[in-house]
Amino acid sequence: MTSPSRVRIAVDAMGGDHGPGEVVAGALEAARSGEVEVLLVGEEEPLKADLTKRAGGRQVPVAVVPSQGVIREGESPVQALRQNPRASVAVAGGLVKAGKASAFVTMGSTGAAVAVATFTMGTIEGVERASLGGPIIGLAPRTVIVDLGSNVDTRPQQMLQFAAMGAAFARVLLNVLQPRIALLSVGAEEGKGNRQAKEAYALFKSSGLEFIGNVEGHDLLLDPPKAEVVVCDGFVGNVLLKVFEGVGAATAAFLERRLGSVDGKALAQEVYDLYNVTERYGGGPLLGINGVAIVGHGRARAPAIAEAIRTAQRCVQMRLVDRMREELGRVKTSTSA
Amino acid sequence: MTSPSRVRIAVDAMGGDHGPGEVVAGALEAARSGEVEVLLVGEEEPLKADLTKRAGGRQVPVAVVPSQGVIREGESPVQALRQNPRASVAVAGGLVKAGKASAFVTMGSTGAAVAVATFTMGTIEGVERASLGGPIIGLAPRTVIVDLGSNVDTRPQQMLQFAAMGAAFARVLLNVLQPRIALLSVGAEEGKGNRQAKEAYALFKSSGLEFIGNVEGHDLLLDPPKAEVVVCDGFVGNVLLKVFEGVGAATAAFLERRLGSVDGKALAQEVYDLYNVTERYGGGPLLGINGVAIVGHGRARAPAIAEAIRTAQRCVQMRLVDRMREELGRVKTSTSA
C-alpha cells in the first residue's frame, strides 16, 4: 500500500467520544483522496473487522496497528501513560518517532496528546511547551487565537512565540501571506491592559513581527479580521474557547425554542456549529512540537475526523514545522538584536 | 414636586450616544410610576424646552438642573473633570453629595462615572476602587459576573470583595436569597487555573462564602446557573463583556443574511439583544461605592434609560450599599478569623 507521494498518518482509533467506528469511517473518507495512507491504531481484531466491513471489498490505503487500551480525558496523562505505554495515543506517537508515519491524529485526551507529542517528537528549539491555537469561531474563520489553554501565567517572551507559531499556522493552513499579529487586551491603545499585556506590547513592538497593536473582545468576531493572529494567555484563551462552545449551545437552544420547527432545528445546528468549530471541522496541530500532531475534539464525528486527517496531511506537505522554526528564529533574532 | 416616598435621582442628560432627547424620554417613562423624581442634568434651555414638549402639559416629577458641557468616552476622565468641573456627570454626582438626590445615573463615559462617584461618594471602607459587575448575557440573566474591567491584576483578597459585592447585587437586584459564588477558571477541579485563580480558590474556601468552586467558560451561559456570582479578574471580565457584544452583533448579522426576511430581522434583533444586555436593559450599579451610581451603555435608548433609573430606585430602596457593606464585613471577619 506504500506510495511515495502519499502522506502516512497514524490515527488514534480509540480516542474520541463516539468510539472507533467513527474514526474508521473518517479514515476511509480521508483516504479516498489518494493522498494519504492511514495507520489506524487500536484494538486489532474489532478494528480490522470494522474496516473490512466498511471498505466493502475495495482496496483501501488504511491499515491497522495494534495497541492496548486508551487514555481517557480527565486522567492524569503522564501517570496514565506510564501505567499504559501501549495505549493507542502512545502507539500512534511511537509510529511517528519510528519514522513509520509522518504525523499522528487523536480525538482523545488533549493532555495525553501533548504528553505523547512532547515525549516522542520533542519541542522546537527554544520552545518550552506545546501550545494549542487556531480559529475557534466559524464566523471569524481567519482569526487564529493562541494560546487556548496549554500555557497559563505566560511570560511576554512566550507570547512572542505564540505569535510566531500562530503566523506559521496562518500561512500554512489559512493561506495568509502576511499574517498580522495583535494582542488581546481591554483597550486598543498601547497603555491598556494588565501587566502581562502591557509588557508583551512593548516586546511585540520591537519584535519585527507584523504587529498591529491590541484588539478587544468584540474584534474576535470580525471577518475580515483586524489581525489574523491574536495572542493571549492560555487562561484567557481557554475561558474563551469554552465560552464560545457555550454560546453555540445556548444560542442554538434559544433558536430551537423560539422557532420550534424543522427549520428552527436546522438553523440551530448551523449556529451551534459556528461556535463549535473543532467539533465540526476536525482539529488543529499542536504548536511548538517538532513534528505534526493533530488534536481534535472528543465529540468529532467521521467528517470532522476526516478533516483532521487532511489537516495533518497539509501540515506535513506544507512543512508546518519548518515554517514554525523559521518564524520562531525570526523573532528570536529580532528581539535579541 | 417633592414627595417623601419618592426616590430622587439625578440623571446625566448629556451622556449617551443618542443625545438628551432619549434621556428626557427615558426619565419621563421612569417617572410615570410615581415612585421616582428625576433631576435631569444638562443644558438648561434646550432640556426645559424638550421636557415641556414631551410632557405635553402634564405635571411630571422631572426637573432640570443646569450644567456645562459633557465628558466624552475616550477622554482621560480625571483630566477632563479637572478642566470641566461643571460637566453634566460631575453636577449629577454633586447633587448626590449635597443630599439633593439619592443616586445618579449616567449613560456617558464609564471612566468619568467612576471618577465622579469615587470623588463625591467615596468607596465603602476597605474597598480600594469601584468595580463593575452584573448579568451580561440575556440567556443567563441570573449570573452576575464581577469584575467587568475596572480592576486588573487583582489580588485574591480583592476578588473576595468582588464576590461579596456580587452577592449583595444578586440579593438586591435578582432576588436571590442565598447566592452561590464561583471562580471562573479553566477546569472545575481545585488545582486548575492560573496562579491568581488558584490562590483565590484557597482564600474563597476559607471565607465563609457560599463558595461552590470553579466554573468554566461554557457554564456562564447556563440558566439556571451553577453559581449566581462568578468572580474573575477585570481583564478577563472585560474581554468577555466585549466578546458577548461581538457575539450578539455577528450572530445577528449571520441570521439576517441566512434568513433574509422580516422575520429574520426581528430574530436577529432578539439575538443581538441577548448578548447586549446593558444596551437593551439599562445599566448597573458601580460596586464598592458608598452610594448609588448607575452606569449604563452609551447606546441605550429611552426604554433602557428608564430601566437604569428604575434600577437606581431599587438600589436605593433595597439599600444596596448597606448590603454590600454587610457582605464585605462578613468576608473580612471570616478571613481574618
State yes or no: ipTM above 0.90: yes
Q: Which of B75, B79, B221 to mutate to test the interface with A (most CBs of A within 10 A)?
A: B221
Residues of B in contact with A244 (CB under 8 A): 217, 247
Domain B7-125+288-319 has CATH 3.40.190.10: no
Cα distances from A67 to residues A40, A306, B115, in angstroms, run: 10, 21, 64
Interface of B with A (CB under 8 A): 139-140, 149, 152-153, 184-186, 193-195, 197, 216-222, 232-236, 238-247, 249-251, 254-255, 258-259, 267, 270-271, 274
pLDDT tens for chain A, 337 residues: list them.
455 579 999 999 999 999 999 999 999 999 999 999 999 999 999 999 999 999 998 999 999 999 999 999 888 999 999 999 999 999 999 999 999 999 999 999 999 999 999 999 999 999 999 999 999 999 999 999 999 999 999 999 999 999 999 999 999 999 999 999 999 999 999 989 999 999 999 999 999 899 999 999 999 999 999 999 999 999 999 999 999 999 999 999 999 999 987 778 999 999 999 999 988 778 999 999 999 999 999 999 999 999 999 999 999 999 999 999 999 999 876 665 4
Q: Verify whether the Cβ–Cβ distance B220 to A233 is below 8 Å.
A: no
Q: What's the pTM? A: 0.94
Provide the greatest CA pair distance for chain B.
Answer: 65
Cα distances from A104 to residues A1, A37, A61, A116, B105, in angstroms, run: 18, 12, 16, 10, 58
| DSSP result, B299-312 | T--HHHHHHHHHHH
Residues of B in contact with A195 (CB under 8 A): 152-153
Q: Verify whether the Cβ–Cβ distance A217 to B197 is below 8 Å.
A: no
Cis geometry, peptide bond prior to residue B147 (ω within 30 degrees of 0): yes
Residues of A in contact with B247 (CB under 8 A): 221, 244, 247
Fold of the domain spanning A7-124+288-318 = Isopropylmalate Dehydrogenase (3.40.718)
Residues of B in contact with A235 (CB under 8 A): 185-186, 193-194, 197, 236
Pairing of β A131-134 and β A144-146: antiparallel
Fold of the domain spanning B131-274 = Isopropylmalate Dehydrogenase (3.40.718)
Domain limits, chain A: 7-124+288-318, 131-274
Residues of B in contact with A216 (CB under 8 A): 239, 242
Question: Closest approach of chain B CAs to the CA of A196, in angstroms?
Answer: 9
- Residue A134, strand partner residues: A145
Cell numbers of A323, please? 515554517
Q: Verify whether the Cβ–Cβ distance A251 to B271 is below 8 Å.
A: yes
| DSSP result, B31-91 | HTTSSEEEEEEE-HHHHHHHHHHHHTT---SEEEEE----PPTTS-HHHHHHH-TTSHHHH
Could you read off the pLDDT of B193-248 as tens digits, one per residue? 999 999 999 999 999 899 999 999 999 999 999 999 999 999 999 999 999 999 99
